[in-house]
Amino acid sequence: MAYENILREDREGVAFVTVNRPDKLNALNNSTIGELQHCFDALTLDESVRAVILTGSGEKAFVAGADISELAEQTAITARPLALRGQRLMNTVEGCTKPVVAAVNGYALGGGCELALACHIRTASDNAQFGLPEVTLGIIPGYGGTQRLARIAGPGVAREWVLTGEMIGAEEAWRVGVVNRLFAPEELKEGTWKLAETILSRGPIALRLALETIRRGLNMSQQEGEIIESDMFGLASTTDDMRQRMQAFLDKAKKK
């Protein structure tokens, strides 16, 4: 599929996906959602890709939300399937078997904030702005944001962001745990790349199992999550990768 609204560029096992509608601040129109869905479906199955970095084109925005010119046309009949389609994309991003890092380079509002929340880790430039302004337009977040923000930062923060609709600076987003690492704008790309490199130096199967364990556990009780954890722990212990990494540690210790 040829993309018109996104770019994908692969380097050293990392796929850089860029939402590319800078003149509309990378707003998610229907066709961009379709292209992202296609792209993340393909990434999940592509064994040459070991991590994904998702960002926005230009210097102003990661993604400034769902496309309001399309939202304005929605009715009670069309809105629900649109929300379900957006939710499916966010679930695909979150369910990606490779680590997905959002490099938030500017506005991450509405659907853009929800897209960042669906990524596994978020880095941001210190001038980025987050927010869920849907209530200012008379709607509510519909791409999983009400659920994910409450799980990531707690229900108090989720209610504050959703009910005020205010923009939240990157430092505050970092303080409440929405952003993992903050960078000066000119260092965001390099800093995010280094983070991806660190992750990619770790056991590849362990990374997959860890992602899966955390994701599934979020929708379970602690007890049920620990059962998944012990199963995955057992699975990790069957790999050559585990044996090689542990032997390398022991050999190094012997030489000291």
Q: How many CB atoms within 10 Å of residue 221? A: 9
Task: Tell me if residue 188 falls in helix, strand or coil.
Answer: helix
Q: How far apart are CA 240 and CA 166, in angstroms?
A: 50
The rounded distance, in Å, linking the Cα atoms of 243 and 191 is 31
Task: Tell whether residue 69 is a contact of ligand COA (CB under 6 A).
Answer: yes
Q: Based on the residue annotation, tell me whether 134 is a catalytic residue of this protein.
A: yes
x/- letters, 114..153, toward ligand COA (CB under 6 A): -------------------xx--x----------------
134, 171, 172, 212: the active-site residue = 134
Q: Tell me which of 89, 100, 109, 158 binds ligand COA, using CB under 6 A.
A: 109
Q: Residue 66 contacts by C-beta under 8 Å, 6 or more apart in sequence? A: 27, 28, 29, 86, 110, 111, 143
Instruction: Spot the catalytic one: 73, 94, 114, 160.
Output: 114
Interface residue with ligand COA among 43, 52, 54, 66 (CB under 6 A) is: 66
Q: Which stretch binds ligand COA (CB under 6 A): 80-88, 92-100, 104-112, 211-219?
A: 104-112
Q: Which of 56, 99, 110, 191 binds ligand COA (CB under 6 A)?
A: 110
**Of 1-9, 21-29, 84-92, 237-245, which segment contacts ligand COA by CB under 6 A?**
21-29
Q: Determine whether 212 is an active site residue.
A: no
Tell me which residue of 112, 143, 149 sits closest to 128, measured CA to CA: 112
Helix (H, G, I), strand (E, B) or coil at 227: helix
Please, are residues 107 and 129 in contact by the beta-carbon 8 Å criterion? yes
Interface residue with ligand COA among 36, 49, 65, 191 (CB under 6 A) is: 65
Residue 6 binds ligand COA (CB under 6 A): no
Minimum CB distance to ligand COA smaller for 40 or for 143 = 143
Contact 225, 233 (CB under 8 A): no
**CB 69 → ligand COA: shortest distance, Å?**
5
Using the minimum distance from each CB to ligand COA, give the nearer residue, 137 or 228: 137
> Is 24 near ligand COA (CB under 6 A)?
yes
Candidate residues 67, 120, 144, 157; the one interacting with ligand COA per rule CB under 6 A? 67
Return the residue matching tokens 């990768």: 241
Pairing type for strands 168-169 and 129-131 reads antiparallel
User: Which of 99, 111 has the CB closer to ligand COA?
Assistant: 111
Least gap, CB of 35 to ligand COA (angstroms)? 16
Indicate the SS3 state at residue 73.
Answer: coil
Q: Are strands 51-56 and 14-19 parallel, antiparallel or unpaired?
A: parallel
By CB neighbour count within 10 A (0-12 exposed, 13-18 middle, 19+ buried), where does 216 fall? middle
Which residues lie near ligand COA (CB under 6 A)? 24-25, 27, 64-69, 107, 109-111, 133-134, 137
**Residues taking part in catalysis:** 114, 134
